[in-house]
Chains A and B, each alone.
Chain A
């Protein structure tokens, strides 16, 4: 029974993806967008500021210096 259900779910996705027309273009755009976001923007332009500037485990001290130094 579980096997039949699994097969049905698999076929739903398999046939769905195989018969896509407009969907193929949309998936291509999604993939391109995710690549730009995660492989380019995140890696080269949006590093985690605290990870790169604060010592690991001492983020609170770093932020305290930032916040309490500003008044």
Chain B
């Protein structure tokens, strides 16, 4: 019998969050900048104007700095799986193995091959082959992201697997169900389009800096036009995929949606909260409050968002805990007590199954019966560990505010891209210092929006490591909290140092600016 203290779990979670957030500083910029440099080089390929080649080489140089600094930062997450989250790693091993192995192979072969051609091959290969390599570098990074997101989507919506009580692992029954789960597809589309926004905001930031410093006007103006158009398209796509994400969350993770909306008591014709006062310092009293104070809402919008019907039923936190309503699948939703009972039934049957197996039981019929009980109740396995129904409610203020920060900033970016495009084509942006400053400030805000999206996705899934199957405190290894705390602090120092180095190199390269060839000088 184990007794993992909450402090240890929180340190392990904090460490994972820190590493993932750090890793996510590099990934979206890689994906986004790959698109921009691909477009810029395509223009060079079509026009053969050396200005565009110089511009492509400049953006590729900045891409290279970010790429190099981001290399292998994700590997630390895998270290943490093996040390801090060993129960989880074993439990999902067979599901995660395939996508992560494919990711590793694709990342290594595609990226290492085409990155080399992209950087070393300007004078060695034909322009067409070079252009193809540039696009394939971006495609390789995007495909890598796909497999990681497949693994993450499975944690939100575990499909295509069956639990094997002999090996204590979930085993994949359908690779296609895992790889092409609707959750994975949408998560991929939303993540990639939002990464394109980060890439465009980076280009906007650099270009606005040049305009502010009154230098490199041609590069700044031409790159701004491209990035604002791409940013606007990416924002519209991100909005669409975000809307689809919310719909899917309503289907399979209604508690996450309820927490995002601070929806304590649901019903039909639900309005969407624009803003409200949710105490940021603690969990609100959702059991007794009707709704958060100072709530400003858009009528019917939440019902439409969650069900695609303005009169649709959206359960609140209390409704989900009580159960006994018709869920999105058209079935009666079990109450928390019923789910806990079914989870405990699965755990008890599994204990008995393994006890008999260890004792060498030959009673195949009885073992098959136990196995049947395990499989039938497996969808609620994780509920067997729930002691207090309050544990099933994620942090409402965190989900509520992180979601609003993401959406609010996303709207700000769209407005900026629209205004900037108008100014670029109809006015003189070189005279608008305020717009240039805004363009510089938007880059950190882009990262805030991107990380906020992940906070919603990951905190909203709590208490689950794997939705409904494994709570966080079961997934964690029995290791002393002091050792996790030590490595956490070590990472704080390491990541801060590496980030300072990256920002320093990037800033130096930006200050140095593009290297114009003689024909373009």
A residues within 8 Å of B by Cβ?
A: 8, 11-13, 15-17, 22-23, 25-27, 29-30, 33-34, 36-37, 41-42, 45-50, 53, 59-61, 63-64, 66-71
Contact = CB atoms under 8 A, between A and B. Distances in A.
A71 B72 contact: no
Interface of A is mostly: helix
Contacts of B124: 8, 11-12, 15
A2 B2 CA distance: 61
B71 A46 contact: no
Given A8-B124, A66-B478, A71 B384 contact: yes
B87 A66 contact: yes
A64 to B, nearest CB: 5
B61 interface: yes
B240 to A, nearest CB: 37
B385 interface: yes
B350 A68 contact: yes
A67 B87 contact: yes
Contacts of A30: 68, 71-72
A49 B347 CA distance: 23
A34 B83 contact: no
Interface of B: 1-2, 61, 64-65, 68-69, 71-72, 75-76, 79-80, 82-84, 86-87, 89-91, 116-117, 119-121, 124-125, 166-169, 344, 347, 350-351, 354, 358, 384-385, 473-474, 477-479, 483, 486-487, 490, 494, 498, 501, 505, 509
A50 to B, nearest CB: 5
B347 A13 contact: no
Contacts of B494: 36
Contacts of B120: 12-13, 15-17
Contacts of B354: 61, 64, 68
Contact of B83 (A33, A47, A67): A47
A64 B169 CA distance: 10
A67 B487 CA distance: 25
B75 A60 contact: no
A71 B80 CA distance: 24
Contacts of A70: 1-2, 385, 473-474
